[in-house]
Structure 1
Amino acid sequence: MTRVSGESTAAGEAGEPAGPRAVVRPGRTVAAADRGALRIADRVVAKIAAHAAREALSVGGPPPEAAPPHATVIVHHEVARVRISLELDYPSDIGGQCTAVRHQVVQRVEALAGMEVPEVAVQVERLHSVQTRGAAQGRTQ
């Protein structure tokens, strides 16, 4: 260890630094939360939101046979604006399911990513009925 003007630095072989420079100042401790920055990519928040939407749709029964929900997210200053595209079974309570999706997405993104979610736009892309699923399966066989 080499001592330079009251600071200690870690040194490797042949006087080369062994990695990031570590500076120790006596009597001063920096809290863990103040030592760096955390940036969660928009695509990670989108995955959290899509998974939360899937969770909300599967409550009370097996997950629907429709395509899984897709999410797009814009994050700005720890605020996430989310858009969810999904398909639902028909007949069903479309408003109730969309409300459940919004609630679950807000809850999960806030809990897992620590971001405020003031807006969740839910777009229902398609409705699937028992008859259309049977017809579609008949075409693929």
Structure 2
Amino acid sequence: MTPVSAETGTSRPAPARVPPAERGAVRIADRVVAKIAAQAAREALAPLPGTASSPHATVAVSHGTARVRVHVELGYPCDIGAHCAAVRRHVTERVGALTDMAVPQVAVQVERLHPVTGQGRV
């Protein structure tokens, strides 16, 4: 069925349908990506030491690429390098999967080490 113009009373062709993928753009705010990264770091480090604060992240997004810096607190003694590698890996996977952004860089900054109770020197 062809639509009829109310002004002229003549029929006009129906507008071409635009495929759903081409109708617009999605922009994910930096703070949303930062929250996803912080949650992913929490998941990678679970459980956190009793007095440690939750990880937080800062993100710079540009042209579909997210550069992430995650700040964490760890229990001590621990393998700091292994924990940081696990955080980098998990943050890269989760941010990439949930936002469809490339994540070429995840910097992990250890803010504080918390002694794990019951493992002190004798």
**TM-score, with length taken from structure 1:** 0.72
The C-alpha deviation readout for 1:95-121, integer Å capped at 9, x for no partner, is 000000000000000100110000000
Which structure has more helix as a fraction of its residues?
Answer: 1
Tell whether the 8 Å contact from 1:85 to 1:125 is kept in structure 2 after alignment. yes
In the alignment, the residues of structure 1 paired with residue 29 and residue 68 of structure 2 have an alpha-carbon distance, to the nearest angstrom, of 13
Partner of 1:87: 73
Partner of 1:73: 59
| Uncovered stretches (5+) of structure 2, i.e. residues with no partner | 118-122
Partner of 2:34: 46
| Uncovered stretches (5+) of structure 1, i.e. residues with no partner | 8-23, 132-141
Q: RMSD value over aligned CA atoms?
A: 1.8
CA shift, 1:64, in A, is 2.7
Which amino acid letter does the alignment assign opposite residue 26 of structure 2? L
In the alignment, the residues of structure 2 paired with residue 101 and residue 3 of structure 1 have an alpha-carbon distance, to the nearest angstrom, of 60
Partner of 1:30: 18
In the alignment, the residues of structure 2 paired with residue 2 and residue 43 of structure 1 have an alpha-carbon distance, to the nearest angstrom, of 47
Equivalent position to 1:124, from 97, 104, 110: 110
**Bigger relative contact order (CA 8 A; separation at least 6):** 2
Tell whether the 8 Å contact from 1:85 to 1:123 is kept in structure 2 after alignment. yes
In the alignment, the residues of structure 1 paired with residue 94 and residue 49 of structure 2 have an alpha-carbon distance, to the nearest angstrom, of 20
Query: Secondary structure, in 3 states, of the residue corresponding to 2:91?
Result: helix
**TM-score, with length taken from structure 2:** 0.83
4+ residue runs of structure 1 moved beyond 3 angstroms? none
**Number of residue equivalences:** 110
Query: Secondary structure, in 3 states, of the residue corresponding to 2:73?
Result: strand
Percent pairwise identity: 61
Equivalent residues in 2 for 1:103-114 (5 A)?
103-114=89-100
